Each structure stands twice: as C-alpha cells, then as structure tokens.
Amino acid sequence: MKTRKLRYRPGLVRLHDAPRFTSKFTPGIPSPVSSGSPPPSPGPTWPMQRHARPFGNLTIDVASCRNSSGVTMPAPSAGILSALGLPRRTRSKVSRRISSSGLAITKPKPADVATGGPMVGPLDVTGVLSVRRQRRYLASSDVSCLGPGSNRNHYNSQCQYHYNPRYLSRDCSRDWGSQSHSNRRHYQPPALSQLPSTNLSTVFSVSFTLRILYASPTNSLSRSYGFVIFLNRLCRRRPLFLSCHLHLRLGTLLNPRINAHIDSRLSVAAARPKSLAPLQLCLPRSSMDRSYASIDSGTSSADWPVHPFELNAIAELDSLPLGSEVNIRARISTHRQLSKALDFILLRDQTQSVQAVLSHDEVDMASWVQKLPPESLVQVSGILKEPPEPVRSATVDTVEVHIQSVHLVNTAHNAPFTNYKPPETLRNRMSSRILDLRHPSNQALFRIRSLVTRKFHDVLFDHGFVEINTPKLQPAATESGAAVFKVNYFSRNAFLAQSPQLAKQMSISADFGRVFEVGPVFRAENSNTHRHLTEYTGLDLEMAIEHDYHEVIEVIDEFLKSVFKAVYEMPEIAEVRSRWPSQDLKYLDKTLVLDFVEGVQMLRDDGRDVAEDEDFSTPDEIRLGQLVRDKYDTDYYVLDKFPASARPFYTHKDPENPKWTRSFDIFIRGQEICSGGQRIHDVVELRANMRAAGIDEDGMDDYLDAFDLGAPPHAGAGLGLERIVAWLLELGDVRYASLFHRDPKSLPERTPGLAHPEADTTKPQPESILPPVEKLIANYGDASNTSWLDERFTIWRHPSGAAVGYVRQEKFAMITGDPLCDASQYKEVCMAFIKFISSELRLVPVWMLVSFEVQKILAKQMGWRTLSCTEEQRVNTDKRFSSVDGAKLRRVEREGVKIHEVKADADFMKRTEQGIQSWKSSRKGRQVHMTEVRPWIDIEHRRYFAAEKDGKVHALVVLAKLSPKHGWQVKWALDFPGSVNGAIEVLIDYTLSAVHGLVTFGVGVSEKLTPGEHLHGIRARFLATTYNSIVESLGLRRKAGFRNKFGALGEEVYICYPKHGVGLRDLGQIVKFFQD
C-alpha cells in the first residue's frame, strides 16, 4: 500500500494518514486505579506495513474515574494510544513539553433526550496525557476518546473506551468489520507496555480532567459521542502551536456556514487560569452533527486560548530550578565553535542574553546550527544546567541551556555587522539602523525614552491637564517665515507646523484650562549639529495661570525630577552606560533659577564676550553649564527673563522693563532642553507685535480670532524628548535618542529602477530580439528621444540593444538626444555610431540637444566643437505651487468646463481629432518644432488630460513617460480654436498637480548662446549674433515665457559638431531641421 504524504492542512489527521509500526501488539494493560477490573479481551493485531519505521507513541494514563455522586467507578483502560511511524522525509527535529494544564469538557442535556431515557453521569476522568518519542522526532498523532453510543461502540458497564472505526486505518477497519459485535465492544489499541522501549523518553505531558455527560443506550441520539485530542505533524522550520490549532479546528466545527447541522445554541468559552494554559480539544464533526455541546474551562470569561508551549523569558531562567525544560525564542548573537559536535551559542532577546550549549551525537545537526548566521531568529528547547563558571558574556550568567532541539524561525541575510562587536561610528550604525536597534543598549535606551513620556503623561494628568492633538498642516508659518517645510496642499500653499504653539494658545482661549501634547515637530533648519533634528518629538504644554508664569516652571520641574529619579532606578541604566558611560545627574532639591543677566555676567567674568540682547551660542551655553556646576554643584537649572529680541512675537514682555520678557529656558549639563514663558493674551498688543516682527496676518485669521474672543492669561513651554534623553544619559548626539532620525542629510535622493527591466541594455540581448525603442525611452529617455517615434527618424541599433535616432538632411546626419542606453555605455555607443555614420553612410554627423555627459565625450574623445543655446525646461511638481490666475480659474468653472484625465478610447480620439485639425488649419507663419502632432502613438506610455464642455474638447495635454530620472514630458499642450479663455492654463496646472517628480516641457531657447569646447574668438561671436537674430525673427522666447509661468527652470543641453566638415554657413541646417 502506498503511503500518503502528510501535508500541513486544516483537517483532522486520521490514522491512515501515516504509516504504522510493523510489529504485532496485544492491546490492554491493567488500570492503575482499579486493578481489580477485568482485563479487556484481546483485539485484532495491527497490520503489517512495508518500509514503516518506529517513531513513538501517545498515551492517556487514567488516574481516577468518579460519577456524579463522587463514587469511584472502574476506570477506562489506561492504554489508549496511537503508535505511528513517519517516513524519513517528513521527520522534524523538535521536542515539546506541556506543563500541568487543566481542561474540562461538558455536554449539556439536549431537550429531546429527556423523553428517550434516563441520563447517566456526569463522569469525571482525571489523568495524564503524554507523548513519547524515539530519539528526537515527533509525528502526527490522533487519539479518539469516545463516549457512549446507542448502536456501534456501545459503552459497557466497565466504562471502557473504544476506537471509532472512522479514525482507524483502512486495514484496521477491515479487521474491525470481521469481528463479531461482542468483540468490537472490547477492541483496544495496543498498550504502552508492548511498544519497543529503546530510546523512548517522555517529551510531552498534560494533566487533565475530562467530564462527559452521556446518555443511556435507549437515547434517541444514535451517533457516538467523540472527543479527539489532535496533534498536527510538525513541519520543518515551523513550530507547533497546539492550542491555536485546536481552537481553529473547534471554531471551524462551530461555524454554521461550514457545518449547517450545528445548533445555534452551541457555545465555546475558553479562559486562561492564572498559572496554567488550557489545552483545547478538537471535536470531530461526526460526533457533533445531531447533538449539543459546549467546552468550558470552569469560568465564564471568553478569552482567546493560550499557547500551551509558553515561551520562557531569558530573564526568568535563573529563577527556575536546574533540570527544568525551557523553550526560548531569541536571536543568535554569536557562535563559539569548539568542535564539529560542540558549539556555544550566545542567545539574545532584547536586553537579556544566555549561553546555550549544543553538544550532540549527530554531527549533521550541530553542523547545521553552526552555519546559521548571527542575528538569525531561532526557537530553542533545552535543559537548564549550571555552568562550570559564570558566563561573563551573558546577562544570565548562573545557568546555561543544553539544547535538545533548535528551530530556525527566520534567517538574517547579509547583515553588515554583528551586535556582538558592532561598529563605533555613528554613520556606520545609522546606515543599518534596524540592526543597530537590536543591540541591548538601544533596547534599554528606548525603554528609558518610553519612561520619560509616561512620566510626562502621569504628572500632567495629576495636575488636571487635558491631552490634545493639534494639526500639523498650517496655512501659514506658525512663528516666522523661515525654518518651515512648504507643502503642496492641493495646489495651495501649506506648511508643516514648526510647533503646536498657536493651536495650544487657541485651546486655552477655548477654556480648556490646561492642555498638553506629545507629537512631532518639524524644523527646516539646515543645521548638521549634534543637537538639531529636522523632525523630533515635542512635549508641549500650555496652561491658564493664576499669578505668574512661574507656575509652569513648577509643573515642568516636578515632571523632570520624577524622570531623574525613575531613570536611575531602572535596571536598563546599566546596559545604556555599558555603551555610553555617564555620571548621575546632579540637581538641587530647590531648583536653581538664574536671571539671564546673571548668566551673561558669569560668562563675562570667565573672559567671554557676550551681548545682553542676544541669545547664547551653543559653546556659551555649554560653558555656562560648567560654570554653574562648579559654583552651585548642579547640572540642572533654569535661565529666566530672556531679552525680547531673542523671543518670538507672542512672548509677554516684562512690564517693569520691556527690554526683557517673561520667558525662560531649562538646561541639563549646559544643553537646552526646554523653552517657554508667558504669552500675550491682549489682541491689540499681539497685533502690534506681529507688525513689528514683520509677520503678515494673512493665514493667521483663526489664531487672531481666538484672542478677539478674549483669552485668559496663560503660559506654556515646549520640551524636546530626544534632548532630554540624550543629555540626561550623555549620549553625545540626539540622533541616538531618535528611532529613525531625520536631519538635513536624511532621505537621500534615490535613483528609481527601470520601468522595463527586460529592456536593460547592460544585460546581454539576443541579436534577433532587441528591446523596442518605446521601452528604451521609458527606461533611459529624455524629451528629445520621444521625437524618434516620428516617421522621418531612422533608428540605429547597437549590439547591446542601445539605440540612436537620426535624420538624413542633405550631407548631414541630424541626431537629437542622448543614446538610449545606460550612462556607463555612452562612450562605447557614441563611438560605434559615429563610425557607422562616417564610414558606412558617408554623412557628416551633427549631434543636438545632448546632455553635459555626452557633449563631454564628443569634445574630449572626438575633438568636436560644442555650444549651448537651448535648455530643457523642467518643473519639479513636488516643489511648485499653483500659479493660475484666480480669475481664469473661476471663469473656467463658471463656463462649466470639465478638467480631468481621460482614457483614450475611440470616441475621445474622434472628438479630439476634430480639434487637432482645426488647430493645424489655424496656424500661421513659420513654425519651429521637433516632433509631429501624433498623440495616439505609444499609448502604453502616455497619459491624456482634457478640458471638455458639452462633449467638445477645448484643450488637450498629453504626457509622455520618460526615464525614472527625468519623469514625464508635456509632449503636447494644444489649445483648440474656440476654447474658453484660460482653459489651457488651468488644464496644464491640473496636469502638473496629477504627477510627482520632474516634468519637462521639452527644449526651449536660452537667453544667450554659450560657447563650449573648442569654440571661441570670432567664430563664437558670429554664432552669438546669428543666434539672437534667429530667435527674435521666429519669436522663440514667447514659448519659453509661457512655460516659466508654471515654474519651469532651464537645464542646459548642447549642440555638438566636428571641426572639419561643418562651416559657419552649414549651421543654418540646424534651424532648417526644426522648421516645417
């Protein structure tokens, strides 16, 4: 018989799903409780199977059996088991153990059973379920503990359990069918004592209580009651989650969409005891079709079941007794290999680590573990033992884990460094921040950071503060016109909030009384220092005051001192100091408060030249901190009454001397962590200060309205979370205290991948199948390359797949744009193409509209002359703002013109072609262009935008996809005759807002001709004069002026030609090339 391969699937695993033992067994062993009960009669022998290998067994040993009156009854047979084997390919190196767990199964009395006969029970069965294994392998196991049935599997007076034929193998079912009815009643599977005992040890045991409420044989329920303990097979590299498996099986059975026979009154409740994890049982569908049932753990709470194999935390290992079996999930920090079969592994889980010892007879297993790279996540089972001497490299140094099994949860690939010996430089650590954050010192650091925010919440809640969340998108710069990030907000100007200051004050005017916020703050300051970030976490508070602004200082002082005390009591502080050595912060019981003028005088006495009306520089602040520590023996102090010139417009001035303000800064170790003060609450004074500071009231209407309605006297402050952590722990740089820091060098520009990787010219291409030009344009092209799709262009192909487009014009080959290939191939492709033009076609090449890189190759390698009189006019849509005149926008809306992106279907093409023909017929005079109006070619790489009214197309804009570096091109922007005035401008503005990154309008004329390589003297002056006359005669600057309205900026492109073969008169061929 061919053995079916076991698969990881949601259904129950039956006995015939796995091979069996080849030996013959006689079932039955005496009960340990009721030894006087008669032994069961011999049952049929187990069938032989070829190539099956012994594996292990599962048993249920019954300790007691009592009825509802508490009377001990004859116990079921103690040898209920399933003896299975697995082929070699399905074995998994795993072992598991379950500590004592409780379970209870109850079956309520159905309403229709009462008339069928008397009830017998309930029956309480207690005992131990255990899995035994041979060597270190587990297999799929399946036990059916069947209750009474009315027909088959009759439950006899001695309460013996029977196998249900549905769960036996095909061969066993045939043997079962050959028995008489009486023999079937007493059939037992083979007993534990008759299994081979070689190398068998218990690796899985559960104490249980089984309560069965059953009916007599006269019940109307004809089917047997069955309860199946289900163990799914263990897949390689996949740990066993037994509780979850069983719960899912149970949930599947109870789902009426799956099993329509389940009554709606069926219920499930599972709760975790305080110290035990319940084992969920899976009920087979056959026993549930016509009955009611519920599973109850003895409590009414309904929590998700808990994994029975609960993982042990490394920190608790030294509190467990030696010899305990533990399960750990951790990362491999390092290996220390002593031999092929002996390995010491340092396992790390967050801030804790322990040494694991792998000493195994099988060299293959040890060799496999030794090849696991550091930082890989593994799950280890083993025995706790005492090491010969304390393990200095581990935080848990008094015990070690002797490994029994190892499961690879996930592998760490290409780790740039290991956290066992990490790099010291900030740059190297931040380049792989995820790996760096796994280091125990960072794990401890961010627990301390979390404590700071928790204390901030606790203290302020105790003082009656309300937490708020303010918007981060502002209509105007919140405090000044500088140092803010501009955002394109649906074609309108917006700014990222520099602070929640204005919103906090508005909340006080709204009578919130006391508010605070923990949130991001954005500063567009190009400061690459150890104390500045462009985005950091702010701890902000604002409160109505009763007497003066020092009430705010008192609240902040209480918060900070609670942080100082709590941080130094945390065990994580030792781990942080192992990487960043620091001393305890010194602070006074009554916090030192110095006036600003006192600080100025201390610095002047120290020989520093500081002004009274200016804020301190960073070196001055650090030096003042040292002076204060020497004089007052404190690292923590407040600097009060700052000059008005160093404070924002909303800061309240000192009534006694307007030169000074009611504001303060708080310092730790000479570094500022907090700035605050009293705010102006009188609207007249506030408006006057805004005018004096040159701040426009536009966009500040909501803020000023809050003060027009009458705001109470108030004060507040803002603290930097990263600075508090960095200066308290002496990290040296605030970037260490930020999870993923943002500074001016963050978010470097990345070159996106190719749109068509199959058209990569750097990879070998079959000569017969070269990538199409359309895909090359999307991979490498700029605006000039899109004209190559016109019929007048001829495409030359390089063996690599690269392409160059040219036009024959008399004795010249007119080439436009860079070669379509990777930039590293420019030199090779250019040299091959020029050789082809000169040698085979006998033409003189003139290469136009090329980038700086290509002109450099032509000038240096070929000695060509170069000049620039044109420029690629590009717009960065991520930095532009709407420039459309409001009157035109309102006119277009009033006329009912619809501006939208359209799909180029047959109907739209037909309607648009009518407008294109009208546009062509309306053109007058000489036209200068490089491409024909053919909007329907290469639709795959086009986007279409239209202005329509009543089914008529008034304007059309077509975008062509360029390389990822260059973005998109406004290939055509057509304003059809009879269109609404301003429709084309509104349409172009809408199109630019619909894409991100760079968009080019194509090539336009420059203000002047700029000579390049090998071009100077009379020749250069003559060309400049000729260029100006051509531009003026053709009116070429008008088009460039129109594009500048949308924020287009010029990027030089070059015209290149050989010294010999192109005279001054021949340069007229260039103008001829662009004319109709």
Show which residues are catalytic.
523, 525, 531-532, 672, 675, 723
Amino acid at 62: V
Taking residue 156's Cβ as centre, other Cβ atoms within 10 Å add up to: 13
How many Å separate Cα 962 from the centre of its chain? 30
Taking residue 1035's Cβ as centre, other Cβ atoms within 10 Å add up to: 11
What is the largest distance, in Å, between two alpha-carbon atoms of the chain?
126
- H-state helical runs in 343-386: 363-370
Task: Please tell me whether residue 474 adopts helix, strand or coil conformation.
Answer: strand
- H-state helical runs in 606-655: 618-632
DSSP 307-346: PSSPPPPGGGGGGSPTT-EEEEEEEEEEEEEEETTEEEEE
For residue 5, which of 86, 65, 100 has the smallest C-alpha distance?
86
Using CA atoms, how far apart are residues 441 and 444, in angstroms rounded to an integer? Answer: 5
Using CA atoms, how far apart are residues 417 and 578, in angstroms rounded to an integer? Answer: 19
Using CA atoms, how far apart are residues 754 and 48, in angstroms rounded to an integer? Answer: 62
Taking residue 341's Cβ as centre, other Cβ atoms within 10 Å add up to: 17
Bridge partners of residue 228, in order along the sequence: 144, 282
Task: Please tell me whether residue 194 adopts helix, strand or coil conformation.
Answer: helix
Q: Which tokens go with 898?
A: 């619809």
Strands 998-1011 and 968-975: parallel
For residue 874, which of 1054, 1052, 1051 has the smallest C-alpha distance?
1051
Residues recorded for the chain: 1076
Q: Which residues contact 902 (CB under 8 A, 6 or more apart)?
A: 908, 944, 945, 946, 948
Residue in the block written with tokens 């005891």: 273
How many Å separate Cα 970 from the centre of its chain? 35
For residue 1054, which of 998, 990, 1011 has the smallest C-alpha distance?
1011
How many Å separate Cα 585 from the centre of its chain? 37
Omega before 122 within 30 of 0, i.e. cis: yes
- Write phi, then psi, for 539 (nearest 5 degrees): -110, 100
- The count of C-alpha atoms lying within 13 angstroms of the C-alpha of 988, restricted to the half-sphere facing its C-beta, is 26
Amino acid at 32: P
Task: Please tell me whether residue 216 adopts helix, strand or coil conformation.
Answer: coil
How many Å separate Cα 974 from the centre of its chain? 44
The answer to whether 155 and 76 are in contact (CB under 8 A) is no
DSSP 672-697: EEEEEEEEP--HHHHHHHHHHTT---
DSSP 699-729: T-HHHHHHHHT----EEEEEEEHHHHHHHHT
For residue 847, which of 869, 819, 815 has the smallest C-alpha distance?
815
Using CA atoms, how far apart are residues 746 and 534, in angstroms rounded to an integer? Answer: 9
The answer to whether 651 and 678 are in contact (CB under 8 A) is yes
Using CA atoms, how far apart are residues 35 and 74, in angstroms rounded to an integer? Answer: 9
Using CA atoms, how far apart are residues 965 and 704, in angstroms rounded to an integer? Answer: 45
* Angle value at C-alpha 855, between 851 and 860, nearest 5 degrees: 150
Q: Which tokens go with 592?
A: 């030192």
Using CA atoms, how far apart are residues 974 and 988, in angstroms rounded to an integer? Answer: 10
Taking residue 191's Cβ as centre, other Cβ atoms within 10 Å add up to: 22
